[in-house]
Structure 1
């Protein structure tokens, strides 16, 4: 692993990691509790892509469970300005299908998230300063137009749907803010943030301000209980916030 960028859990013991200067690697985590341990492990599979769909500068990845025990790995190829899809089985994780999935409107896709109802893909587009939303109920391909656009994020990076899919949180690498977008009647069309919350103080943000594109939050996730937001960037390794403090409303999702 070199320039590790994005990751996702395929299940509680299997992790997929996107490596900007290499490939996408799948790891089986060692058994037992992780706290207080240091382990060297090797990937159980590396995904390279297909003949006409080679992985190049993979940055972020999302795992989507399909029928018959298969998993789709949706990968942002950062400097190829596209998202590719790699379908693997759960018995060895060998890729049997590789395809270019999304490209229209993307410029340096830095983050990707899937809605919990399986209907939407959100992709942050660094070069166009927005987030593109694609409707998965339609057939997707490189020429598919985004159905929705989230605006007014300087340099969007990590992003996540809340557990009820009513809101999307977006980390803005070019400011100290997390932006909150509301679904309203649906995710189609353009919208601006309903709320923006500082997750870095001015001093911390300034220390990481090497350029107008840097200094702010990048990594972002919401825990399984839909109550805690985790944020990370170069100068702030990991910070936790209540989801309510970010969205301004209590979560409506109840975990199963």
Structure 2
């Protein structure tokens, strides 16, 4: 591991970690309970890509499980403005069997990526264009593919996640205090503006990290597998939890817990 940025679980014991210094590393976690322990483990495989899909400044990563032991890794290469697809095979010790460029058109610093739960959509936050591009998953998808939909007014979007029913998308805005919520029917074609924008940082915390107009706000974002809890992180707020219902439903109070405070 080097300049660690994004990660995703292959399964409960295997992690894929994107390092901005140039590669993706796969780790098998020890089977012992981790509480109270410090362990040093080596990567079981490093993925570098090849030729036009060679990894360069990989940031965020999304994992998709395929058939016959195959695992697809979708990787945002931040500063080449490209999402690459790498297929590794767990039966072969996660050796890469395919590397290809996947998405490029319209992307300017892809900072976050997420897959819908029905497998039909890929959402990629595009920092430079201040929006999130939505692509329909298909066999013909490639670097010249136009996005099927666009989430507008996202500020400087970073982390992005679909809710379990694929009817909402949450986007962390690194340039403000907000997480933006977009609503849909499960079909994400067309352009959308946020239906809600919720402050997940207090003003003091936000201003401490405000080194530029693009910084200070939330970056990392995830939803737990129960679809009840949203985790948000940035440099000035290590980890905070919010009830998902409080973000997508204005009638529910927004209770949060910040792990940087007692």
TM-score past 0.5 threshold: yes
How many angstroms apart in 2 are the aligned matches of 1:249 and 1:90? 43
- With structure 1 as the length reference, what TM-score do the two structures score? 0.95
Report whether the alignment pairs 1:132 with 2:133: yes
Q: Distance in 2 between matches of 1:249 and 1:37?
A: 41
Indicate the residue corresponding to 2:153 in structure 1.
Answer: 152
CA contact (8 A) 2:166 2:186 kept: no
Partner of 1:98: 99
Distance 2:244 2:24 in 1: 30
Q: What displacement does 1:22 show?
A: 2.6
Q: Give yes or no for contact 2:104–2:143 (8 Å, CA) kept in 1.
A: yes
Aligned counterpart, 1:187: 188
Q: CA deviation at 1:69?
A: 1.7
Aligned residues: 251
Secondary structure (helix, strand or coil) at the match of 1:68 reads: coil
Structure 1 stretches of 4+ moved >4 Å: none
CA distance in 1, matches of 2:244, 2:118: 20
Q: CA deviation at 1:36?
A: 2.0
How far is 1:163 from its partner? 0.5
SS in 2 for 1:67: coil
What is the CA-CA distance between 1:189 and the residue it aligns to? 0.5
Range moving further from structure 2, 158-167 or 180-189: 180-189
- State yes or no: 1:70 paired with 2:70: yes
Number of the residue aligned with 2:255: none
Contact in 1 for aligned 2:167/2:186 (Cα 8 Å): no
Cα distance in 2 between the residues matched to 1:103 and 1:204: 34
Correspondence 1:105-254 to 2 at 5 A: 105-137=106-138, 139-184=140-185, 186-248=187-249
Structure 2 CA distance for aligned equivalents of residues 249 and 97 of structure 1:
45
Consecutive unaligned residues in structure 2, runs of 5 or more: 252-262
* Distance (Å, rounded) in 1 between the aligned partners of 2:114 and 2:35: 27
- Residue 5 (str. 1) matches residue 5 (str. 2): yes
Q: Distance in 1 between matches of 2:20 and 2:103?
A: 18
Determine the C-alpha separation between the residues in 1 that align with 2:97 and 2:186: 37
SS in structure 1 of the partner of residue 68 of structure 2? helix
CA distance in 2, matches of 1:35, 1:139: 46
Deviation, structure 1 residue 53? 1.7
**SS of the residue 2:245 aligns to:** helix
CA RMSD of aligned residues (A): 1.4
SS at match of 1:37: coil
> Counterpart in 1 of 2:81?
81
**Is the 2:123–2:133 Cα contact (8 Å) retained in structure 1?**
yes
Distance 1:239 1:68 in 2: 38
Q: Deviations over 1:1-51 (max 9, x none)?
A: 221100000000000000001310000001122222211111000001013
Q: What is the rounded CA distance, in whole Å, between the counterparts of 1:153 and 1:159 in structure 2?
A: 11
Cα offset, 1:184, TM superposition: 3.3
Moved more, 229-238 or 66-75: 66-75
Q: Secondary structure at the match of 1:85?
A: strand
* Change beyond 3 A, Cα 1:198–1:74: same
Find the counterpart in structure 1 of residue 27 from structure 2: 27
**Cα shift at 1:105:** 0.5
